[in-house]
Amino acid sequence: MKRRTFLKTTSVSGLACALPPFFPFPTNDEYTTEELMGKAKVELFGEGINLRKAAHDSFLEMKKAAYSAGFDIKIVSSFRDFYRQEGIWERKYLSYTEDERLSPLKAIDKIIEYSTIPGTSRHHWGTDIDIIDGYPKASGDVLVPGKFENGGPYEGLKLWLDENSEKFGFYLVYTNDPRRRGFKYEPWHYSYAPISIPMLTAYRRLNVMKLLLQEEFLGIEHFTAGFVRTYVQDHILDINPKLL
């Protein structure tokens, strides 16, 4: 049985306007709340690519250029809807609380080192990708920072992306800046800025706490308004400043 009994505080409504809005593009009205939370059916392009049209087209251009430089960009993960993220969240929550016997709050802290709360993932937008180089042999988990540096199998691709990805509109989201809070360094996660910047602008207008109150996934009864406020500031907004 799932229960949701939130701790009530007075500042829930302050979430949506915690930071001043910035409008790099003229309109953001085209994105619905359902779409921003991964609950809408959006049109995605490319088998195994699954991105919005412009992001898909630019990804193919980048892939072609990388190919000429000797790299085979492979997408490990792109679009994930709310329900997929909910499955990931609940699997981790159960594993940390039952197998590792962590307290609910410790389990949640551990999940959000790398995984998002359902409804808050950039992977819901059809603009973000996790990528590796398909050529080198690699064993075990591919999405670990060490594989992208210091002689790791994807070091060459990472150096190429550092030089070239922004020409195609793809920006690293969770950079290696030691002052950055929120998600840890993810050298594999890129975002197509021309679409994801206006989507983030639209997302910032949502009242995330109020929206999460309507959900029932495991562990959500431990979310407080303060926790969600900090999560939004650190995990959603403390990213590569070029994507704000």
Q: Which of 52, 189, 229, 235 binds Zn ion (CB under 5 A)?
A: 189
What gap in Å lies between CA 28 and CA 5, rounded to an integer? 33
Toward Zn ion, which CB reaches closer, 71 or 183?
183
Sign of CA dihedral 132, 137, 140, 145: negative
Question: CB under 8 Å to 16, separation ≥6 — which residues?
Answer: 204, 205, 206, 207, 208
Residue 130 binds Zn ion, judged by CB under 5 A: yes
Q: Which stretch binds Zn ion (CB under 5 A): 40-48, 122-130, 192-200, 222-230?
A: 122-130
Q: Which stretch binds Zn ion (CB under 5 A): 38-46, 112-120, 187-195, 226-234?
A: 187-195
Task: List b or e across 64-89, with b for residues whose CB sees 16 or more CB atoms inside 10 angstroms.
Answer: ebbeeeebebbbeebbbbbebbbebb
Residue 124 binds Zn ion, judged by CB under 5 A: no
Residue 88 binds Zn ion, judged by CB under 5 A: no
Min dist CB 123 to Zn ion, Å, is 6
Give the CB-nearest residue to Zn ion. 189
Toward Zn ion, which CB reaches closer, 115 or 224?
115
User: Interface residues with Zn ion (CB under 5 A)?
Assistant: 130, 189
